[in-house]
Structure 1
Amino acid sequence: MALASDPYQGHDATVLLTVVLVGPLVLLGLLVYLCSRLPRRRRPAGDLSAAWRDLSLLAVACALALYLWGCLHLLFVDRQERGTECAKVDGVVRGRGAEAVTGDFVPLRLVCHMPGGRSHTVLVPEYINPSVAVLLLLALAGGLASVLHGRARRTAQRKEG
């Protein structure tokens, strides 16, 4: 919840700017790695653990891209625009604005605390957080499948050799 000294905190500008500047570099690194993994010729059939790993990294890259898209929505909005967005309820500008505004990075959101105890989120598109969550679960499943398949393959190789 917001501090009494500044009820309109939003997101820490330094952290938000750092995420927006460093995030694309990490995303670019992931994409360069994944492009280097594209098959130039057919891979052997036993290389499933690498395919699962690459799928997992692709899901992470997609989640990072969506998260950065949400951060860009927050970066270029000043306090007055936040107040205007907070005053909009159901697309109509209502009377009083928010009593407090708080920002969270996980999940990414800007919450307007309205008079009467109501609150709603603004600026970050609604599809960002659920999509990021699903992509991260897919990345976790792909990483787990990669590890399990790699272990099974190594165990089978030891028994053969």
Structure 2
Amino acid sequence: MVPPQLVLASDPWQGHDVGGLFVGLFAGAAVLVGLTVYLASRLAPANFRRYTPVRVCRDVSLLAVALGSALYVWGLFHLLLTDEQDQAEECELRRPAGVARLVGLRGDFVPLRLVCETPNGHDYDVVVPGYINPSLTVLLLLALAGAVAAGLLHRGQRSSTRKKG
């Protein structure tokens, strides 16, 4: 017999691990604070005058990462502040018509969601606001585009200075 406090990996009613939520919160907050301090320092008048297209692309990319971190932390707070009972109630409230019962609950970190599982395979998300994951996708694409543009511009600057020298 398994003690009631022990959760097995095969348990279909697992949400997010609280330890994982705290690690995500602290890591996301650290990234957010570090990037905010860095980006705020870039807005100083002395730095503002020295902006180049490479630096603009780099900072736009870092701003997208900072905003993505803020959104992810916001989603983690939603999960952390709803206990298992509230999560189960939310699953029941949003249960589709024609589904007699739920067969499980699953927590995913990427994408960030809490999934209520149905026997017919038509699972649905609860608790995490619906705008979090699409916004994170757009911000990730913006961060990648900014980083690639900064890299290409920097490479172009290096090759043009070599030709001059």
1:89 aligns with 2:94: yes
Matched ranges for 1:80-159 at <5 A: 80-89=85-94, 98-159=102-163
Deviation at 1:89, TM superposition (A): 2.3
Structure 2, gaps ≥5 residues long? 1-7
Aligned residues: 157
Q: 2:20 matched to which residue of 1?
A: 15
Q: 2:67 matched to which residue of 1?
A: 62
Which digits, 9 at most, give the CA deviation of each residue in 1:57-113, with x for residues without a partner? Answer: 0000001111111111001111111110000127x9999653200011000000001
TM-score, scaled to structure 1? 0.88
CA distance in 1, matches of 2:163, 2:90: 64
Q: Is the 8 A contact 1:87 1:95 kept in 2?
A: no
Please give the secondary structure, in 1, of the residue aligned with 2:110. Answer: coil
Amino acid at match of 2:109: F
Which digits, 9 at most, give the CA deviation of each residue in 1:34-73, with x for residues without a partner? Answer: 111114145347x211111011000000011111111110
TM-score, scaled to structure 2? 0.86
Q: Is the 8 A contact 2:28 2:72 kept in 1?
A: no
Q: Are residues 76 and 137 of structure 1, via their aligned partners in 2, closer, same or farther at CA, if it must alter by over 3 Å?
A: same
Q: CA RMSD in A?
A: 2.3
Amino acid at match of 2:72: Y
CA distance in 2, matches of 1:153, 1:39: 24
Structure 1, gaps ≥5 residues long? none
